[in-house]
Structure 1
Amino acid sequence: MASAVERTDEHVREYLIYRGFTNTLKHLDHEIKADKEKGFRVDKMIEQLQQFVQSFDLFSLKEYWLYLDRRLFCRLEDVYKSTVNKLRTSLYRYYVINTIQRGNLEKTQEFFQKQALELQGQPEWRDWFMLPFLPAPEQNPAIAPYFSRQWADTFLVSLHNFLSVLFQCVHILHFDAEVQRMTSLTEENEQLQQQLFAMQTESRDPKDGEGVTLHKLPPYVQNMDRLGDTEDLVSSQRAVSTTTPPSRNFFSTFLPQGRRTSGKTPQMTSGSLPSHPSGARKEPSAGQVKANGGFMETLSQTAKRRGEMEDVEPPAETPFKAPEGTNSCSSGAETGGGLSVEQAFIKLSQEEYGEHHSSIMHCRVDCSGRRVASLDVDGVIKVWSFNPVMQTKATIMSKSPLLSLEWATKPDRLLLLGTGVGTVRLYDTDAKKNLYEMNIDETHPRILSLACSPSGSSFVCSAAALGGSGSVESAAALPAPVSGQLLLWDTKTVKQQLQFSLEPDPVAINCTAFNHNGNLLVTGAADGVIRLFDMQRLESAMSWRAHDGEVYSVEFSYDENTVLSIGEDGKFVQWNIHRCGVKQSEQVLPQDATGPFVLSGYSGYKQVQVPRGRLFAFDSEGQHVLTCSSTGGLIYRLTSGEPALERVLSLGGHKAPVVTVDWSSALDCGTCLTASMDGKIKLSTLLAQKS
């Protein structure tokens, strides 16, 4: 219920913003803020009741309960009225006990004076009227149990569960389920229409040497991409599940929701990995570390939460046996001694998306694994799907240059687009239109990186001055780092919340990444420094010089105890965030994995592209990493020793250097995306071999 209400509020808010009804939007925000039902969030309602109890506000406590009674309880059947009366009695007792425990006898006497007429005829309150006159009420046999913490916790849990079940049974938003049902039926209808079309085509095939009859393609296929507009008239055929997620218990509402549920422990865990030679460590210089107790507490809580998630046992799986004739030679690997390593993946298929006509800069799949957004150097963005068939959903063409993109966390249909003129656009991939455009900074017009927080509606953007990293340059030396800003924005209010302090210099940030719950943010900059920010305190926690040259790509590890980065010096390094600037491992990668990327052609033609998108991506369990190469993606196994990377699988398939990668594990089979300088994107479907 709460999720449906929140989703509906967001739709209404987006509509009002689109229509420009700012006054109505202000009234909506005001009424949502004063909403007594708290958007049907039970934890917020319990919190409101406790606030009235702790502040001795008997009048507001009674009014709030009466409101719930008129709004919800009065609609229940008579059999539940006794339960409601018992909960009200317990709430009043909870209030009275609180006044005595906190030594406010005036509020105790006030309660019985104001409630005497209502309570004196009720037998369950007969022994409670002597409460203000007892010297030690907690020792009275009839009242003593109510002074225990156990009784208070039991009451709060019971009230929480009662309201939760009540909201699940009261279907206030019928249309939400109706919309999902209609969407499912529409997509099923479109799928059946395509099946009918295929059957009609087969029925017209030539038989016994008869003349060939050419079937005329539908108009939307004939005209596709004719004028650069490749928005399909056929939506995704992927069925939308309409099952209701199971309800969580009271205590689970306070637990953080992890981004993965796999129970397999990755090989690279915690900060207690085997130590490496002293030469592999790089201690930070003075002034590069700024850590506080709050940040270290955040780190320990994050590590603890990750450990709790990894204790879950994974479901049993049926071993997969490759069919005869399967080309599994590329799924294995050979060590330096020529010994075969047990294959980790089987490449089931590889498809090509070829709608782009120039080098790719970014290629990202959304969190649901349904959509892909790819951006080329000409500023053309394609939004496309690959399940069950590869289809272009929208083409975005902009007059101003586009430099970066990022999928919004929720709703996942929204796409953030960073331009070269100091603006960020919010694009709705379903409606195929810009919702609004945010003016970031005219003095730093190049939006190099965008990252959405997993826990809310905020996002960070890196704005840089003209020139500097991230542009397509000649083969000459790259320009020196330029000035930059790191800003925090809110997509709901469309306002800037904060400008982060970048020390020692305000330098251009090339890459940004959040951890699973948005409490930590890691950035890599053009000055070779990695900076870690505490997003709860909204301040820098630590920084260290990580690479000789620019930091091109940075990500958190699976267990989030380390950070991994690729830099201009060609090194792939793992850093321990519990010991600032200390290397866990390091490995030198070839230039075709780190850039700058070079594409040569006839007559001495040469194109050089500085990295812009992700240079590496992890599988669902964080044990394997996908990197770029001149002929396709390369998959390595992460190790805890030397070397840090062990080659597992070459995806291949490309004739030009791969410049950015992504790895989606939202579906049953992992999907690797590799995008190259000739505009081709390869989609490789892998099956993981479980040991």
Structure 2
Amino acid sequence: MENMQYAEELVKEFLIFRGFTSTLQAFERELGTDIGKGFHVDKILELIFSVYIPQFRAEDLIEVLSFFKKCFSSASELVLISTLSKLEGSILRYYVVHALQSGRKNKVTEFFGMYGNDLLQRDKDWTSWFAILYLKNPSMDPQFRIYFSQEWFNALHLSVRNFLSEMFNANLRIPALLKISSEKNTVNRLKKDIRQLNVRLSELQALLEEKEAQLFRSRSNASSVLEVRMGQTNGTMSSVTGIPSTGVHEVSVLPSRVSHETCAPASEADSAKDWVVAGPAEVSSELIPSKFAQGSSSKLDRRLGESGTSDTLEMFRDDFYIDTGREMDGEEEFLEVKVDFQETFLCHTSPISRCRFSASGNNIASASVDGTVRIWTYDPSTPASRNATIYCGAEIMSLEWDCKSDRLLLIGTADGGIKAWNVDAKRVVCDLSTTEAFPRVLDLKCSPVEPIFVSAAASRGYILRGLNILYRILDF
């Protein structure tokens, strides 16, 4: 009912727009007498059999029948089109019969003159009907007698009624105006669903960012607690041995340097690492590596007697480098590297294939084999506004940050796609693709001085080939 009212309003709006005031008045009068608010098959039958045929309006009759055929023009309605064509032929035959029964042979001649060729092209059975004008009594002719009977007319009338009722009352054919209202309601419903899904997506993204921030804070707190406990442990060890932790650290570096610079054998190097800190009285004998214990023991004994422990350590360090200086000539010093802290990022659900730092070092981009790229930060003091998840739909083959602006991330995929992600706008600002012959974007590199980047692509199959493409992007 709602669709019908909306369609009527559209018709009125069109008639007013075109200035068809007389038609509008007639339309409103008909609406006033309309009771069922639906399809009226009797009105169509009355128009065909009580208006067009009795008044010999062949042109209007042909037009309304053609209109019905246009309503069933799709390939899936071939059966309906065939049935309607047969009904159309019977209605036109009744037109000829009615004209002969009314004594209007001139209307038959006029009808065949206008539509005879078209009728013959569609149905060869019309050939014999061209001779009906020359029969003295066609109603008695065996070939045409059936068409002049009341039973045949009643059967035709009933067949047309049943066909139209089945087609329109069963909703197999809905007028386009009624479809507009239904489609409008469907579009409104889909828009409402989209808005609700967008709100839900925003809520989930906010919740995900909040969880990531909580997880990051928890890891930072755990690292701080671990560092505090390690500091307490070192202080406890210093109080037990009687030697300050700074002194132990200063002396403990010495064997490591000796073992690397003098190229001692593995057994001697291992023994040089086994230090025992017992107390101030035993420092000189316990801190000397076994390799140099014999050559410098007398010297150390004399100095132990002349000075205290701390002075002895300083003398020992000076003499040690003087005596072994000849062995250190030509050797390169290597500083030890140790891990100060460690953070774990657990937001990927598939194996991670590659990761890249941004030019500023504030953000990290990591890609997994499921085609997902995550942008995150390791420093809690860095804003998390750039954190994002990018779904590329294909395996990630390469990642590269823009060297100049630090706001574009280039992503190369296994299906030949190159995406430029703007971390501030949080969207893909450029989507490129390589040639079909080289779909695997293995590497991407940005120029450090110009707004250009180069891609390295490879082919698939048994014969592998490569291709480099240089791109220049405006407002890079």
Q: Normalising by the residue count of structure 2, what TM-score does the alignment of the two structures yield? A: 0.31
Q: Taking CA–CA contacts closer than 8 Å with sequence separation of 6 or more, which of the two structures ends up with the larger relative contact order?
A: 1
Which has the greater radius of gyration? Answer: 2
Higher strand share: 1
Structure (1 or 2) with the greater helix fraction = 2
